[in-house]
Amino acid sequence: MSATLIDGEVIAVRMRAEIAAQVQQFTEQHHYAPGLGVVLVGDDPASQMYVRMKRKNCKEVGIESYAHYLPADATQAQVEEAVLSLNQDTKVHGILVQLPLPKHLNEEAVLNLISLEKDADGIHPLNMGLLAMRGREPLFTPATPTGCLVLLKEMNVPIAGANAVVVGRSNIVGMPVALMLTRENATVTICHSKTRDLPSYLREADIVIAAIGLPEFIKGDWLKPGAVVIDVGTNKIDDATAEKGYRYVGDVELESAQAVVKAITKVPGGVGPLTRTMLLANTMKAAYRLTAKA
Residues 6+ apart with CB under 8 A from 270: 6, 7, 8, 151, 230, 231, 250
Whether the bond between 268 and the residue before it is cis, its omega within 30 degrees of 0, is yes
Among 114, 128, 249, 271, binds a copy of itself (CB under 8 A): 128
Binding mask 135-174 for a copy of itself (x = CB under 8 A): xx-----------------------xx-x-----xxx---
CB 78 within 8 A of CB 69: no
**207 counts as binding a copy of itself under rule CB under 8 A:** no
The site for a copy of itself, by CB under 8 A, has a size of: 37
Alpha carbons within 13 angstroms on the beta-carbon side of residue 172 total 17
Q: How many CB atoms lie within 10 A of CB 289?
A: 15
Interface with a copy of itself (CB under 8 A), residue from 31, 103, 194, 244: 194
Q: Is 54 one of the catalytic residues?
A: yes
With beta carbons less than 8 A apart as the criterion, state whether 166 and 209 touch. Answer: yes
Residue of 22, 54, 119, 206 marked catalytic: 54
Nearest distance in Å: CB 106, a copy of itself: 11
Catalytic residue among 98, 118, 206, 231: 98
CA atoms within 13 A on the CB side of 288: 12
**CA proximity to 132, closest of 202, 179, 84, 66:** 179
Residue 132 binds a copy of itself (CB under 8 A): yes
* Comparison of 160 and 240: residue with beta carbon closer to a copy of itself: 160
Nearer to a copy of itself, 5 or 132 (CB): 132
Q: How far is the CB of 111 from a copy of itself (least distance, A)?
A: 10
- Compute the least distance from the CB of residue 246 to a copy of itself, in Å: 29
Local structure of 150: helix, strand or coil: helix
Which one from 22, 119, 121, 285 is the annotated catalytic residue? 121
201 is a site residue for a copy of itself (CB under 8 A): yes
What Cα–Cα distance (Å) separates residue 44 from each residue in 80, 110, 122, 156, 173? 19, 18, 23, 37, 21
Is 206 in the active site?
Answer: no
Catalytic status, residue 22: no
Tally the residues of the chain. Answer: 294
* Complex with a copy of itself: residue 65 or 141, whichever CB lies closer: 141
CA distance 43 to 37: 18
For residue 189, state whether it binds a copy of itself (rule: CB under 8 A). Answer: yes
Instruction: Indicate the SS3 state at residue 226.
Output: coil
The binding site for a copy of itself (CB under 8 A) comprises: 108, 124-136, 160-161, 163, 169-171, 175-176, 179, 182, 185, 187-192, 194-196, 200-201, 204
Kindly list the catalytic residues.
54, 98, 121
